[in-house]
Structure 1
Amino acid sequence: MSEEQVRALRRVGRAWNRVSAAPSVWRRALPVEPDMGRFPRSAEPAPAWFGRLIPLPPLPGPGHATPPTGPAEPAEPAGSAGPAREAGPADRAEAPEEAEAAANPRGAVLRRVLLGAPLASSAFVTERMRKLVALPVLSADALSSVAYGPEAMLTVLVLAGAAGLAYTFPVAAVIVFLMLAVGVSYRQTIRAYPHGGGSYIVAGDNLGPVAGLVAAAGLMTDYVLTVAVSIASGIAAITSALPGLTPWTVPLGVAVIVLLLAGNLRGIRQAGALFAAPTYAFVVAMFALIGAGLVDAAQDGFRAAPTPSVPVTEAVGLLLITRAFSSGATAMTGIEAISNAVPAFRPVEWRNARTTLTWMVGLLIAMFAGIVVLIHLTGVVPRSDETTLSQLAHLSFGQGWFYVYVQAATAAVLLLAANTAYNDFPRVLSLLARDDYAPKVFLRLGDRLAYSNSTVALSLAAALVYVAFDGRTGALIPLYAVGVFLAFTLSQSGMVVHWWRRRDPHWRKSLVFNATGAVLSGLVLLTAGVSKFTSGAWVALLAIAVFLLVTTRVHRHYATTREALRLRPHAVDLPARPGAGPLTPAVRTGSAADLRESEELPEEIRHLSVVAVATLDLAAMRTLAYAASLAQPVLVVHISTTEEEERRFRAYWSLWGDHLPLQTVLSPYRAVVAPLVHYIETLHRLNPGLTLTVILPEIVTRHRRHQFLHSRTAPRLRRSLRRLPKIVITTVPFHLPT
């Protein structure tokens, strides 16, 4: 809460003092013991052969509740918010599967089998990657791009025949220099942003929020196309060796996307272990191919083989060369991935990230240059039925087992290179959601400490693009360069402004490096946008424009919601009358079976109102006032996903005046709905004679399309609790003005 909101909270609490009974009166009226312990008990990671699994203890129930943890001591906030902003009803990221799991145990068991046991939030540090794992996980996209980058460049140059192919070396040399310049530039970015310096953060911090959004738009487009292009190239490598599978190109690609989705939903470390071997196998295959090709060429005195006769469809000109350059520059995709993912490294994070980036750039330049040299020496030209790498492998190894190894390694790394996007797309989307530019549902970490909702969204978008373009790499490449180099340009331009403002030691050298990267990236962006506009670049530009439109509308809606929910003492509802307090209903006796829905007279019903609140905003205050005005016992429940959040909420509750009984439930597995469902179920089973009325604040939007931006807790609770008698779910609506 801001300083202003803290002052408003105190004033609201003083107003409650005048109209509500003393807190002790409300506590004595409670017909239940509210403290039932943690949900579930926290557990520490246990070493396992593959990954780290957290065994979940059985949930406490009647007769075997876990030991109570006791209320947390309220810590007086320093008048302003800490590092994390208090989440409100519009912000709380909740997952539908939580409540569904509570209502459907079989579904929960199936998810456990497919995805593994949930990881506690405290296990996040154990999911960091060391350099030898981070290199294949974060560099698979960049390293695997040598399988299609040189071929994409040649596909354009060959349109001019031998005259066009004569420009292979000059164009490739410029691309290598660009790789080096951009790689050095991102080393400076990692040094300046040791906690993660993706294009969105760098551009937003130094060039303004609009530039940050444009950079994010380029990144998101790039990540979706990374998945589609990598899988299309991987399937092409398979069909080059097995032409009979060509009709199955689209189904095979979609199946790979589904496998990547399942693998990434299992979490960071599992994905890293899975993707390390193919990437290293590909590096070995490329250096073996380059080495064998150079040995064969040395026997012929390094004489270049004659280029086969190809039809000439275009004359050599500036437009042709620039198109070839922008196509070949797609071999640089993924260079920025390491700077985005600095927090995913083991300590010291920034130093390990810089080292890994240096390894990646060195390997990328060596493989790209080696493949281009081999293409020149062998006279290989692109063909529609076989990839360039497959042709080179045939020349060096024939049809032997090492040819099969090269093709298998190439296909595997291309199919798994999409994992770079699966690591970075959810992270960028979570940053957008944190800044109110994307739905808050993308903030939630899933059971395996992965951004599950973002992972699913990326898979759906990539599958749609892949199917729409029939899995053809050549059709997807023109869309690729625009998003990649838009993000590069804005990130490096932002770093130039950063060094100019900070003027740290050696800032001039760093500024020159970043300025060089910005200028070169900007030239590639301009070249790709102009030369490939009609070939498909317009689709990427349109996607970026739509992204900007949607994110700005989402941000405007959240800003309106935040203003509407802001505490204003004169606008807060209060209980009905001075001195209002809970009535003391008659106590009924009898067995549990006799008490099940047998009330026939009003005085026979024993009430308990359970109010679930996420934060103390205007909607929550209206809900609390409504519950207190019923003059029945009230228990307020807050689900905290971290101990820090629990302490912060209790501190704000104390500032308000602690007028109503509060119970906080700590959920170390980040679940929100399931702990609330379980807590209410336990209350019911321990007190079958009570009628529980669960009261929730509900945000009501004027437009149906905005409802997706807010949590839908009430329907999930109804689905999960409707099988139990004497539980009523009601909501107190809060209507947004727009």
Structure 2
Amino acid sequence: MTGTEGRVDGDGSGLPGPAAVLPGLSEEQVRALRRVGRAWGRVSVAPEVWRRALPVEPDVGAFPVSAEAGRAWFGRLVPLPPLRVRAAGPRAAAGVQAEAVSRVRRVLVGAPLASSAFVTERMRKLVALPVLSADALSSVAYGPEAMLTVLVLAGAAGLAYSFPVSAVIVFLMVAVGVSYRQTIRAYPHGGGSYIVAGDNLGPVAGLVAAAGLMTDYVLTVAVSIASGIAAITSALPGLTPWTVPLGVLVIVVLLAGNLRGIRQAGALFAAPTYAFIVAMFALVAAGLVDAARSGFQPVPPPSLPVTETVGLLLIARAFSSGATAMTGIEAISNAVPAFRPVEWRNARTTLSWMVGLLIAMFAGIVVLIHLTGVVPRSQETVLSQLAHLSFGQGWMYVYVQAATAAVLLLAANTAYNDFPRVLSLLARDDYAPKTFLRLGDRLAYSGGILLLSLAAVLVYVAFEGQTNSLIPLYAVGVFLAFTLSQTGMVVHWWRRRDPHWRKSLLFNATGALLSALVLLTAGISKFTSGAWVALIAIALFLLVTTRIKRHYATAREALRLRPHAVELPAPTSTGPLAPATRAAAADADRETEEIPEEIHHLSVIAVATLDLAAMRTLAYAASLGQPALAVHISTTEDEERRFRAYWGLWGDHLPLQTVLSPYRAVVAPLVHYIETLHRLNPGLTLTVFLPEIVTRHRWHRLLHSRTASRLRHALRNLPKIVITTVPFHLPR
């Protein structure tokens, strides 16, 4: 059985979390821990008595040390073998069942990777460009078309504004690109909109920026896949009725791939992205050569029905639609640490390349559209029409469509990298359930990946996979994040006043002003076309995240260690009951006990952190007067050392066994440990004690772990194992 369980810092759920270290204790908490330990010492027997009473050897095995790990494939991934068991024994039914489940998971997701398997290889610029720019560069496949789709409503008069609107969009690309160059310099360790806005404008602004980012990432998946499927159906019209099923299938494939950690092999993005760049420049070059033969005389567009008149609102809508070609510009500023040294300098260079390529391809496509008189059609994309005019039905047309479809479908994966990361940052700051902090078996934020896939499927199906229907929702989230990030940078430079701060402030102020203009334009002009959906989603996001933050603050205060609130075991001078000998216990391998004297106990207490809930559980188990053993699953060596140090500050009153889990899993190693204790000592009745948070509202349960139910399910086939939860009721 494999799995992970996130630790809520101080939530009393009984288990630690992902690869994050144990939260540190303040001076006040350390003093409280010592006072509680002294109080325990006055009512409990000496720690040596508890240790002598243990009927088992607590150390049952360990994971291999790093020196015994397998060699890394291509210098990137380091797999580790499973836990070594000190003594073998007959496998129980639960072990066979767990092994079967593990095999299925390995087929679907892959074998678990140790924390040491994080990618250590940095990206050079030629690899980082396609990996981090796929979303931005691929947007030229739908950005110009989205702009024309609005202008064409006014007929030829509307199309006449395509050049001026495009020129403003190009200027906006330059301004925002230069602004993010300043962000990279100021935040060399990665500065997404959530971090920048939160640091400089306050937590509310950071939350609003995160809301914009989250909606942006969901729509990135939906829009990219819708555009990619449109490229396929343009070349193969017979697949048009299957637009929605094909898009959902692609999302499922992306889900499976990211759960397996395929996204770590980022170099796979190089081929389709570079193929798309070559295809776009080949298309522009061929189109310009054809136009040169006719003296660059534009072909008049076909006769178009006029449904709207040219006005400020129409032009504003076209501008905000075309500006969606800028999506993904932020990706490089988020991933600065992924570059080779000097990281920030290489990131700025890569960003400049990306913006230059984006402007060249965007401008080239707009010029070709003007020269050829192509207008948007429902059954064929603008890029497909341009490729037909330049290459006919030959192999170059197939190449252009295949490269476009491939880069659009893979561009959706940018969101799979960033959405779970932002969600984990929100969970770190208590704005999202702690489960999103959890790294899965393949070193991916599995919870965030699943949530993104579900949201993208719902949006894609609701809008029937139509790019033009999704675009109005897109600009609001994108430019809300842009605006807050750049405004935050203005405040940053004003506060820091580093050398050349005025120039940097001017760049970021320009980017903030233009982004705010697009945001305002999109919010007003596209409100009735679908922008209201994005605005409502952002408002709901703020409501939910603030409620979650309030609940975690209440839980943390209630669980905070306070000496006078800690329950102590009943005073005793005799210590634990004398256990049966290990030899006698080993013979009792069947559930034949009929009287109390025939039952030989061992209390196993799962402890994550020393808060009030954990102290109540320790006190309850100790008060029963049976041999007791505390178990802590550590996900890092540092966490293991620090927990033992805190245990010593408390007074080391009960025996403690720590298990280091390099796979970040917590429930599975705890199950394995208990199962191994049972196999080595079948005559003992093991009672596993877990702290349990009891909330007053049902939806609050989603914010805390369900360790007890998972343990019951995993261990129910083993005899003589009892799971007991000790409730801790939150005040509200």
TM-score (norm 1): 0.93
TM-superposed CA distance for 1:581, in Å, is 2.4
Structure 2 unmatched runs, 5+: 1-24
Match of 1:35 in 2: 59
Structure 1 match to 2:367: 373
1:90 maps to what in 2?
A: none
Q: 1:221 to 1:391 in 2, by over 3 A?
A: same
User: For the residues of structure 1 that align with 2:657 and 2:141, how far apart are their CA atoms?
Assistant: 58
Q: Offset of 1:33 from its aligned partner? A: 1.2
- Deviation of 1:313 after TM superposition, in Å, equals 1.4
2: CA distance, partners of 1:249 / 1:39: 48
Candidates 77, 85, 101, aligned match of 1:52: 77
Residue correspondence of structure 1 range 28-427 to structure 2 within 5 A? 28-39=52-63, 42=66, 44=69, 46-48=71-73, 52=77, 54-57=79-82, 59-60=84-85, 62-63=87-88, 103-126=97-120, 128-267=122-261, 270-427=264-421
Alignment partners' CA distance in 2, 1:730 and 1:642: 27
- Alignment-derived partner of residue 89 in structure 1: none
Contact 2:153 2:305 in 1 (8 A): yes
Tell me by how many angstroms 1:593 deviates.
5.7
Q: Report the counterpart of residue 716 of structure 1 in structure 2.
A: 710
Identity %: 84
* Equivalent residue, structure 2, for 1:10: 34
Alpha-carbon spacing, 1:693–1:497, altered in 2? closer, same or farther (3 Å): same
**Which blocks of at least 5 consecutive residues in structure 1 are unaligned?**
66-98
* Compared CA separation, residues 385 and 363, structure 1 to 2 (3 A): same
Shift of 1:141: 1.0
3-state SS of paired residue (1:438): coil
- Aligned partner (choices 467, 475, 489) of residue 473 of structure 1: 467
Note the C-alpha offset of 1:53: 5.4
Deviation at 1:592, TM superposition (A): 4.5
For residue 601 of structure 1, report the CA deviation from its aligned partner.
2.0
Distance change (3 Å), C-alpha of 1:580 and 1:7: farther
1: CA distance between counterparts of 2:95 and 2:603?
25
The amino acid across from 2:728 in the alignment is F
How far apart are 1:123 and its partner, in Å?
2.2
SS in 1 for 2:351: helix
Amino acid at match of 2:32: A
1:730 aligns with 2:724: yes
CA distance in 1: counterparts of 2:599 and 2:38, whole angstroms: 33
- For 2:14, the equivalent position in structure 1 comes to none
Q: Which residue of 2 aligns with 1:74?
A: none
Question: What letter corresponds to residue 504 of structure 1 in structure 2?
Answer: D
| Deviation digits for residues 257-282 of structure 1 (CA, Å, limit 9, x no counterpart) | 01111111122654524333211111
1:62 partner amino acid: A
CA offsets 1:476-520 (integer angstroms, 9 cap, x no match): 000000000000000000000011111112111111111000000
How far has the Cα of 1:48 moved from its partner? 3.0
1:667 corresponding residue in structure 2:
661
Comparing 27-36 with 470-479, greater Cα deviation is found at 27-36
Q: How does 1:692-703 map to 2 (within 5 A)?
A: 692-703=686-697
- Tell me the C-alpha RMSD between the 2 structures: 2.0
Distance 2:506 2:539 in 1: 31
Moved more, 565-574 or 304-313: 304-313
- In 1: Cα distance, 2:443 partner to 2:611 partner: 29
1:568–1:618: 8 Å Cα contact kept in structure 2? yes
| In 2, Cα distance between equivalents of 1:506 and 1:181 | 18
Q: Secondary structure at the match of 2:453?
A: helix
Partner of 1:70: none
Alpha-carbon spacing, 1:19–1:469, altered in 2? closer, same or farther (3 Å): same
Q: Which moved more, 1:406-415 or 1:296-305?
A: 296-305
**Structure 1 residues 100 and 466, CA, compared in 2 at 3 Å: closer, same or farther?**
farther
- Alpha-carbon contact 1:62-1:685 (below 8 Å) kept: no
2:62 match: secondary structure: coil
Equivalent position amino acid for 1:297 in 2? A
Compared with structure 1, are the counterparts of its residues 349 and 646 closer, same or farther at alpha carbon in structure 2 (3 Å cutoff)? farther
Between 300-309 and 409-418, the greater mean CA deviation after superposition: 300-309
Matches of 1:692 and 1:247, distance apart in 2: 59
Structure 1: which amino acid aligns with 2:34?
R
Mapping for residues 467-616 of structure 1, pairs under 5 Å: 467-579=461-573, 581-587=575-581, 589-590=583-584, 592=586, 594-616=588-610
Q: Could you say which residue in structure 2 is the equivalent of 1:687? A: 681
8 Å Cα contact 2:694-2:728 kept in structure 1: yes
SS at match of 2:725: strand
In structure 2, the CA distance between the partners of 1:50 and 1:9, relative to structure 1 (3 Å rule), is: closer
Residue 79 of structure 1 corresponds to none
The amino acid across from 1:443 in the alignment is L
* Contact 2:53 2:579 (C-alpha < 8 Å) held by counterparts: no
Question: How far apart are the structure 2 equivalents of 1:572 and 1:638?
Answer: 20
In structure 2, relative to structure 1, the CA distance for the partners of 1:45 and 1:334 (3 Å cut) is farther
Match of 1:636, SS state, is strand
Query: Residue type of the partner of 2:77?
Result: R
Aligned residue type for 2:42: R
Aligned AA (2:87): P
Contact kept, 8 Å, 1:44 with 1:122, in 2: the verdict is no
Counterparts in 2 of 1:101 and 1:394: CA distance versus 1, 3 Å: farther
**Alignment partner, residue 83 of structure 1:** none
Distance 2:413 2:161 in 1: 34
CA 1:647/1:103 → structure 2, altered by over 3 Å: closer, same or farther? farther
Counterpart of 1:726, as a letter, is K
After superposing the two structures, state which structure 1 stretch, 513-522 or 36-45, moved more.
Answer: 36-45
Distance 1:129-1:700 versus aligned 2 partners, 3 A rule: farther
DSSP-derived class of the 1:155 partner: helix
State how far apart, in whole Å, the 2-side matches of 1:426 and 1:718 are. 30
Equivalent position amino acid for 2:632 in 1: H
- Alpha carbons 1:282, 1:406 under 8 Å: kept: yes
Counterpart-to-counterpart distance in 2, 1:412 and 1:55 = 34
Whether the 8 Å CA contact 1:638–1:665 is kept in 2: the answer is: yes
Could you tell me whether the CA contact under 8 Å between 1:499 and 1:511 is conserved in 2?
Answer: yes
CA distance in 2, matches of 1:241, 1:100: 53
- Contact 1:482/1:540, CA 8 A, preserved across alignment: yes
Q: Is the 8 A contact 2:234 2:384 kept in 1?
A: yes
372-381 or 145-154: bigger deviation: 372-381
Does the 8 A contact of 1:234 with 1:412 survive in 2? Answer: yes
Report how far residue 100 of structure 1 moved: 10
Matched residue SS, 1:104: helix
TM-score by length of 2: 0.93
Bigger drift between 334-343 and 312-321 goes to 334-343
Alpha-carbon distance, 1:36 to partner: 2.6
Matched residue count: 705
Q: Secondary structure at the match of 2:604?
A: strand
Q: CA deviation at 1:58?
A: 5.8
Distance 1:349 1:249 in 2: 41
Is the contact between residue 69 and residue 78 of structure 2 (CA under 8 Å) also seen in structure 1? no
**In structure 2, do the counterparts of structure 1 residues 102 and 137 end up closer, same or farther at CA, with 3 Å as the change threshold?**
farther
Q: Secondary structure at the match of 1:734?
A: strand
